[in-house]
Structure 1
Amino acid sequence: MGIIDGTTGAHGSLMALPENRWDASAVEGASQSDLLLYRSNLLGADLTVTNFGGGNTSAKVMEVDPFTGAEVEILWVKGSGGDLGSMKRDGFATLYQDRLLMLEGKYRGLEHEDEMVGYLPHATFNLNPRAASIDTPLHAYLPFRHVDHMHPDAVIAIAAAKGSEDLTKEIFGAAIGWLPWQRPGFDLGLRLRDYVRDNPGLNGIVLESHGLFTWGDTARGCYENTLAVIRRATECLNARIAAKPAFGGTARSDIAPADRAARAAKLMPLIRARISTVQPKLGHFNDAPEILEFVNSADMQDLAAIGTSCPDHFLRTKIRPLVIDADKALAEDGGAYLDTVLGDYRDFYAGYYARCRRDTSPAMRDANPVVYLVPGVGMVTFAGNKATARIAGEFYVNAINVMRGATALSDYVGLPEQEAFDIEYWLLEEAKLQRMPKPKALAGKVAMITGGAGGIGKACARRFLREGACVVLSDIDADALDAAEAELAGTYSADLVRTVPTDVTSEEAVARSMLAACRAYGGVDILVANAGIAASAPLEETTLDMWRKTFAILSEGYFLAARAVFSQMKTLGGSIVMIGSKNALAASPNASAYCAAKASELHLARCLALEGAAHGIRVNVVNPDAVLSGSKIWTGKWRRERAAAYALREDELEEHYRRRSMLQRNVFPEDIAEAVYFWASDASAKSTGNIINVDAGNAAAFTR
């Protein structure tokens, strides 16, 4: 995967066409519910069809009622939350179709729309715990066995264009109907039913500023109908897009990819520091061709100010983005510029809330932007976690595609402000937010670990990941880094793990690795200086090269890493943890270079604790001893030399260290990680300049 987020390459404006990926042999003999899952996964995995987490699918299936033993019609429909592309069978809500239809008698009109959601659990089939979504009535009341509701960019472009109804007729003829914007709910379900009753022969319906409904008699027929409608829309749009420059043409030239990446890496911590005072934020950078085409265009400012159209888009991206001038933000007085534009955005958002709020509206949420458009550079998005920040960026790419298509047809039209607010501050959405689990202890934090591919480094990474942090592993061993990334990303999430090969003795390499971490997440909150080497020899056999290399890694390497992170930690505070050694406090025979370097590292930590305290930067040390398990420094010459120093066989060394300890216990990487986590967490918020010995007890290394 590597460290770089986003993509680069030549510009290209045309929308991709959906591909028919149905494989009849893969679903031969499958049940109707399995066919629904197969169809859903195919649709959800195709970004030309719908966005992440967007859209829903359904099938009306005959099932045996567990109570009566009779066959009954059951609506299988994507439940609340989840993603079509990756969902499993348990992602579907199942409800008695007849009970859903009976709910029409309970409906009291638009002003009582939300109360209908409370009736849906009463229609649950077979005690299914999956909650039904607000879109359930839209599927229940359409008189078709299989129904898809998708958010394809090509169709939303038509739905969000001025003259949308006429454009729908022009492009699709009588095969596709059109309904004006209406918030999803029970009433919209009834309107869809009545519309298809009054317009027989339709293959689908375009919902203004929202998306597409399509259907079929079979799962495959429904899937192919959905793709055919999207393909027709895409082909028509591409013909229009090719006829004129997108977004009014180019107003600004590209800069080189490396320069874009460097500017993003410098800009992101400056933004993050100013928007993370209440809740920690993580960033995502993307300079894909479609983003550069938009941010460098003549019409970008005007289009961005209109805001997004589809509810799925602005729920993730806020009603509009903030445009940032990178030249001004990165100038010597750039902090004042960022304070001004962010303050202006917060004022705008507060005004939007004040204008649109209702008596029952939830309190105003975070007023900071989510999406930042940076001409010449690309797009940055920030959210409470990396996945949400990345997905917000993906949704704004959808919005860009919609704006490109809509402006090729006529004019782009955003959702009316009040309608946007009523979706964003919908009480049902608020209830969903309130049900979200409490963030973990290190949520929104970024930890950089030097020597991250070794035993202690990976143990620290696992400990941080369990507490919700993102980790950036640096190591000189690129193969070991790749293996560590595959292991950790597979266990936790690819969003949470980044790697960057780094020689910590190189000033330039350390600086590059820190910029890479900033570009990946927006900054570093925790530094674990852990890169290691071990040299063992009697003094007269200790060469100058051995001495210098040991100090280069264990002393200069720790200095370079700390210096690289120190300036950006000054804005938000942070924690630096140095992995020392028992040898920093208690000397060992035949290891003068190692002991002296570890002692210098210990004193460096104390000096940095003094300098960092005023800025909320804490610097502490963990002193391990005899961590043989998983440690790369114990796999070769060091192990042989330490065994020789104590006149032992190599296989006796671990037992020797255990017996030597006061507690008669072995020390493992996970033990060191626990102490590192303590220093990195708020549990030690009032400690700096301190040492924790994790050595199973060594009286000679008691701190004084």
Structure 2
Amino acid sequence: MPINKDEFRHVDYNWDDSVADKLSELESLVYRSNVLGADQRITNTGGGNTSAKLMETDPLTGEQVEVLWVKGSGGDLRTAKVENFSSLYQGKLNALDGTYQARDDKGYKQAGEDAMIGMYKHCNFCLNPRASSIDTPLHSMIADKHVDHLHPNAVISIASCKDQEALTEKVWGGKMAYVPWMRPGWEAAKVCEEAYAAKPDSIGILLGQHGHTNWESESKSCYETSLWVIETAARYIEEHDKGEMTFGGAKVESLSDEARTELLAKFLPVARGILSNKVKFIATVQSDETALRFVNSVDAPRLAKLGTSCPDHFLRTKIQPLYVDFNPATDDFDALVEKLNAGIEQYRVEYKAYYDACKRDDSPAMRDPSPTVILIPGVGIIGWGKNKSESRVTTEFYNCAIEVMRGAEAVSEYTALPQQEAFDIEYWALEEAKLQRMPKEAPLARDIVVVVGAGDGIGKETAFRVAKEGAHVVCADLRFEAAQKTADELTAIYGQGIGVAGTGISGCGPAIAQEVNITDRESVQKMFEQVTLAYGGIDKVIVTAGVFLAPGQAGMSNDQQFDVSFAVNVKGGYIVGTEANEIWKAQGLKGALVLTTSVNAAVSKKGSLAYDTSKAAANHLVRELAVELSPLVNVNGLAPATVVKGSTMFPRDRVIASLTKYNVEFTESDSDDELRDKLANFYAQRTLTKSPITPADQAEAAYLMVSGQLSKTTGQIISVDGGLHEAFLR
């Protein structure tokens, strides 16, 4: 193409011959997909398809046959591997055209686009189980060997203009064919095939309101053609950019970073509570220059009402966002909440009217009518989803929609899909079937669980236990490095939280780390503020942090030991519980608080006076908080006994002292773990179950108390001590 690889300004040229030249043809297709998907300006998460028609050996006949390899349903170009591509006999795909019925009076086939999807599996090559994409026939019917179908913001901008057909000719100099909006499927592919045949010198097709498709005979040249199509559109938009008058210019002035953070920390739990009338949502906030330029603008209310254009967008963002008519210069927090309440109520009414007006006899039932994107002038964009990943992608998609509207308004006038067309995509039977096939959500999938003391021992084990049940885990600890290690380990297991480059969208994933000193209310407030900004609120809080100080330890006087023990073991739980309650009250959603006490609270013994009395006070703190925080929050206590393994309360010197005290044999050459095992086994013999008590045992009980299975239990202390009869209730 006429643009040198060093001259691209709006896309990144990522093709590396030293890598690509060593690859097979199929590996080259995967490589092309990955380098395309690596640039968010080229296609959005999970969007777009790439394909190659390759000669393969038929396993039945041994003959060479043409096979279409195309990115399958549900895959993502950036992360795609060979197993994410479906493979189909090209000859069998061609033969499927004969199964298609005659046109009806609307110009569509009656046999059913959806029914054709079920036919693709009859064309699978080598029993490939990967489900085929709805765009499979598009790739099949374009005769060239390599085909890219993409959703770049710049191209969709042109495809969303009121004069999109004329602009197709003008922007790309006659090198692109044009097809107006059609729902993806067999019929749309047939129309593209006709456009391809009618314009044999074209290198691609602009798909109205959707994106573009281009082709070449070689993988590298197909990649370069894709970049040329996008770069050409982006340059055309750049030439017509309106600068400060983009979106009609600014109407509202942004809050300062400090003021916005303060407002969001207070507002997000309220918004989460209002939205979560059916199920709970997790938030993602975008407050960068791009977001603020749009939400602050004169045209934002008009454009927001029009909704998005690309089908990939509104499957996440719904047909339109909720625009809150807020001005931080004249409106206070109460006014913002009042406007949000009124806006959501009206949104739900309008969404139901949209559903009722567009539904068909076989339409799925109406889904939650709440908005998934909220626009607030002076503040930014808040995206909502069932988990952090979904809310982040929803926010990313609306960010794409903004860029589409910016480009379209720069060169012409933005137009959205007609409501009926939008509805038919949103409530497509295939999409509904995909939703129904999704596995059942884990018990804590929509919960934000704060584990204080997650750096090691019981806290770390608890963080892993709740994460296993789908929770978004906040790993909090006095030692940030230890908290971060736990969060990193969880992220490695459950997925990387990746922010979208250049968008300002927060990049946290299923676990984050926070430093906190629970004896300092300001530190606890700061922690909860960061948690709220990351996820939108909290649901469960589990405090496992504690301190044990033996007489004479750390050079403290007995008075000092009492001060520290009560500060951490009692006041710390009080501070965490009361600060968390401010968020729970703002949300109005059921919560759970677990404080870790000890069986020592009920068993008097020598050598731990400060610890035992502080834990006895903690037991009563549980009961008092259960009363104070009712009926919204269940408060219970976890009372472990002699958990030696992985506990910072049992450093080597304390273990040796205990072994010596109880005349348990050991040697100085024993490792720390060996010493702990000996002490744990000694303690186990004093219990009814005769088994060592582990952090995992405590974590299981902590999980049980926040799982909802004990929803009618509050103000109780659950002992996990192996059966210490000395601690039985009297």
TM-score normalised by length of structure 2 = 0.91
Q: Distance in 1 between matches of 2:611 and 2:652?
A: 16
Task: Report how far residue 244 of structure 1 moved.
Answer: 5.5
Does the Cα contact within 8 Å between 1:16 and 1:48 map onto a contact in 2?
Answer: no
Name 1:85's counterpart in structure 2.
78
Name 1:606's counterpart in structure 2.
623
Does the Cα contact within 8 Å between 2:595 and 2:622 map onto a contact in 1?
Answer: yes
Does the Cα contact within 8 Å between 1:536 and 1:642 map onto a contact in 2?
Answer: no
Q: Distance in 1 between matches of 2:656 and 2:256?
A: 50
3-state DSSP of counterpart to 2:595: strand
Alignment of 1:415-434 (within 5 A): 415-434=417-436
Name 1:406's counterpart in structure 2.
408
Indicate yes or no: 2:45 matched with 1:52.
yes
Q: Tell me which of 663, 670, 673 is aligned to 2:699.
A: 673
Task: Report how far residue 647 of structure 1 moved.
Answer: 6.1
Q: Tell me which of 64, 86, 90 is aligned to 1:71.
A: 64
Name 1:555's counterpart in structure 2.
570
3-state DSSP of counterpart to 1:215: strand
Name 1:219's counterpart in structure 2.
219
Name 1:98's counterpart in structure 2.
91
Q: Tell me which of 411, 436, 439 is aligned to 1:437.
A: 439
> CA distance change for structure 1 residues 334 and 43 in 2, over 3 Å: closer, same or farther?
closer
Name 1:3's counterpart in structure 2.
none
Q: Tell me which of 688, 703, 716 is aligned to 1:662.
A: 688
Name 2:250's counterpart in structure 1.
250
Tell me the alpha carbon deviations over residues 404-428 of structure 1, each in whole angstroms, 9 at most, x when there is no partner: 1111111111111111011001111
1:56 maps to a residue whose letter is: N
3-state DSSP of counterpart to 2:173: helix
Q: Tell me which of 589, 595, 600 is aligned to 2:606.
A: 589
Name 1:282's counterpart in structure 2.
282
Q: Distance in 2 between matches of 1:430 and 1:502?
A: 44
Q: Distance in 2 between matches of 1:259 and 1:703?
A: 51
Task: Report how far residue 211 of structure 1 moved.
Answer: 0.2
Task: Report how far residue 331 of structure 1 moved.
Answer: 3.2
Task: Report how far residue 646 of structure 1 moved.
Answer: 4.5
- Of structures 1 and 2, the one scoring higher in RCO (CA 8 A, sep 6+) is 1
Indicate yes or no: 2:487 matched with 1:502.
no
Runs (4+) off by over 6 Å: 538-541
Q: Distance in 2 between matches of 1:410 and 1:221?
A: 31
Q: Distance in 2 between matches of 1:448 and 1:409?
A: 48
Task: Report how far residue 597 of structure 1 moved.
Answer: 1.3
Q: Distance in 1 between matches of 2:151 and 2:144?
A: 19
Q: Distance in 1 between matches of 2:338 and 2:272?
A: 15
Alignment of 1:301-450 (within 5 A): 301-324=301-324, 325=326, 331-332=333-334, 336-450=338-452
> CA distance change for structure 1 residues 555 and 644 in 2, over 3 Å: closer, same or farther?
farther
Task: Report how far residue 567 of structure 1 moved.
Answer: 2.9
3-state DSSP of counterpart to 1:633: coil
> CA distance change for structure 1 residues 296 and 16 in 2, over 3 Å: closer, same or farther?
farther
> CA distance change for structure 1 residues 201 and 621 in 2, over 3 Å: closer, same or farther?
same
1:300 maps to a residue whose letter is: A
Does the Cα contact within 8 Å between 2:68 and 2:89 map onto a contact in 1?
Answer: yes
Task: Report how far residue 242 of structure 1 moved.
Answer: 5.5
Name 1:32's counterpart in structure 2.
25
Q: Distance in 2 between matches of 1:326 and 1:452?
A: 41
Does the Cα contact within 8 Å between 2:484 and 2:514 map onto a contact in 1?
Answer: no
3-state DSSP of counterpart to 1:534: coil
Q: Distance in 1 between matches of 2:258 and 2:65?
A: 61
3-state DSSP of counterpart to 2:441: coil
1:683 maps to a residue whose letter is: Q
Q: Distance in 2 between matches of 1:386 and 1:329?
A: 30
1:702 maps to a residue whose letter is: F
Name 1:524's counterpart in structure 2.
538
Does the Cα contact within 8 Å between 1:267 and 1:330 map onto a contact in 2?
Answer: no
Q: Distance in 1 between matches of 2:604 and 2:34?
A: 61
Task: Report how far residue 262 of structure 1 moved.
Answer: 2.4
1:498 maps to a residue whose letter is: I
Aligned-residue sequence identity (percent) comes to 39
Does the Cα contact within 8 Å between 1:535 and 1:638 map onto a contact in 2?
Answer: no
Q: Distance in 2 between matches of 1:326 and 1:694?
A: 53
Q: Distance in 2 between matches of 1:93 and 1:283?
A: 34
Task: Report how far residue 461 of structure 1 moved.
Answer: 1.0
Greater alpha carbon shift after TM alignment, 146-155 vs 602-611 = 602-611
3-state DSSP of counterpart to 1:283: strand
Q: Distance in 2 between matches of 1:362 and 1:420?
A: 15
Task: Report how far residue 330 of structure 1 moved.
Answer: 6.4
> CA distance change for structure 1 residues 333 and 168 in 2, over 3 Å: closer, same or farther?
closer
The CA RMSD over aligned residues, in Å, is 1.9
Q: Distance in 1 between matches of 2:707 and 2:315?
A: 32
Tell me the alpha carbon deviations over residues 71-102 of structure 1, each in whole angstroms, 9 at most, x when there is no partner: 10000011111211112111111111011111
Q: Distance in 1 between matches of 2:128 and 2:299?
A: 49
> CA distance change for structure 1 residues 472 and 69 in 2, over 3 Å: closer, same or farther?
same
Tell me the alpha carbon deviations over residues 618-650 of structure 1, each in whole angstroms, 9 at most, x when there is no partner: 111111111122222222665455556556668
TM-score normalised by length of structure 1 = 0.95
3-state DSSP of counterpart to 1:440: coil
Indicate yes or no: 2:114 matched with 1:114.
yes
Tell me the alpha carbon deviations over residues 472-519 of structure 1, each in whole angstroms, 9 at most, x when there is no partner: 111110111221221111111232101111111111110111121111
Q: Distance in 2 between matches of 1:486 and 1:223?
A: 35
Does the Cα contact within 8 Å between 1:627 and 1:669 map onto a contact in 2?
Answer: yes
Q: Distance in 1 between matches of 2:334 and 2:296?
A: 24
Q: Distance in 1 between matches of 2:146 and 2:331?
A: 52
3-state DSSP of counterpart to 2:333: coil
2:360 maps to a residue whose letter is: R
Aligned residues: 689
Name 1:10's counterpart in structure 2.
none
2:275 maps to a residue whose letter is: I
1:703 maps to a residue whose letter is: L
Q: Distance in 1 between matches of 2:406 and 2:444?
A: 39
2:529 maps to a residue whose letter is: L
Does the Cα contact within 8 Å between 2:252 and 2:378 map onto a contact in 1?
Answer: yes
Q: Distance in 1 between matches of 2:68 and 2:32?
A: 16
> CA distance change for structure 1 residues 646 and 256 in 2, over 3 Å: closer, same or farther?
farther
> CA distance change for structure 1 residues 667 and 163 in 2, over 3 Å: closer, same or farther?
same
Task: Report how far residue 546 of structure 1 moved.
Answer: 2.2
Q: Distance in 1 between matches of 2:590 and 2:198?
A: 64
Task: Report how far residue 163 of structure 1 moved.
Answer: 0.9
Tell me the alpha carbon deviations over residues 369-411 of structure 1, each in whole angstroms, 9 at most, x when there is no partner: 0001111111111111111111000000000111111111111
2:373 maps to a residue whose letter is: V
> CA distance change for structure 1 residues 466 and 457 in 2, over 3 Å: closer, same or farther?
same
Task: Report how far residue 26 of structure 1 moved.
Answer: 1.3
Does the Cα contact within 8 Å between 1:157 and 1:402 map onto a contact in 2?
Answer: yes
Q: Distance in 2 between matches of 1:585 and 1:382?
A: 45
2:518 maps to a residue whose letter is: V
Name 2:197's counterpart in structure 1.
197
Q: Distance in 2 between matches of 1:25 and 1:384?
A: 42
Name 2:503's counterpart in structure 1.
none
3-state DSSP of counterpart to 2:172: helix
Task: Report how far residue 333 of structure 1 moved.
Answer: 6.8
Alignment of 1:6-25 (within 5 A): 17-25=10-18
Q: Distance in 1 between matches of 2:177 and 2:529?
A: 51
